[in-house]
């Protein structure tokens, strides 16, 4: 059996695997960007992908979650207090 013969039929699985690996690497690199776009669209809060990457490197997933919750709380506080309607008497 001669392993030195490389035809297009035998190279095709390797090329396909390389393409999938490239797509996987790009998708992992874009996680912070996608998170920031989602955050902007859903809450109106703008955040830099570099901040998300830094929080993830320092504290992992919990660090990003804490940063997100802190931003949400700050945005809610900017809006001011919520008016609670008076309790009506139900008898």
- Give domain status of residue 87, yes or no: no
Could you tell me if residue 58 is inside a domain? yes
Residues 1-23: what's their mean pLDDT? 80
Task: Give the CA distances from residue 34 to residues 10, 41, 70, 89, in Å, rounded to whole numbers and listed in that order.
Answer: 36, 11, 19, 48
* CB distance 55 to 64 below 8 Å: yes
Cβ count within 10 A of residue 9:
7
Helix/strand number for the chain, H first, E second? 3, 0
* Predicted TM-score (pTM) of this structure: 0.55
59 in a domain, yes or no?
yes
Residues of the domain holding 53 = 26-78
pLDDT at 4: 62
Q: What's the confidence (pLDDT) of residue 6?
A: 64
Name the domain count of the chain.
Answer: 1
Is pLDDT above 90 for 77? no
Tell me, yes or no, whether 15 lies in a domain.
Answer: no
- Considering only residues 8 and 56, tell me which one the structure prediction assigns the higher pLDDT: 56
Query: How many other C-beta atoms lie within 10 A of the C-beta of residue 27?
Result: 10
């Amino acid at each position: 059996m001669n392993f030195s013969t490389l035809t297009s039929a035998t190279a095709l699985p390797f090329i396909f695997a390389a393409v999938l690996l490239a797509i996987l690497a790009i998708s992992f690199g874009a996680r912070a960007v996608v998170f920031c776009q989602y955050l902007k669209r859903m809450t109106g809060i703008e955040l830099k992908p570099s901040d998300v990457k830094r929080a993830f490197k320092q504290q992992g997933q919990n660090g990003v979650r804490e940063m997100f919750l802190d931003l949400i709380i700050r945005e809610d506080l900017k809006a001011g207090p919520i008016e609670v309607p008076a309790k009506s008497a139900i008898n």
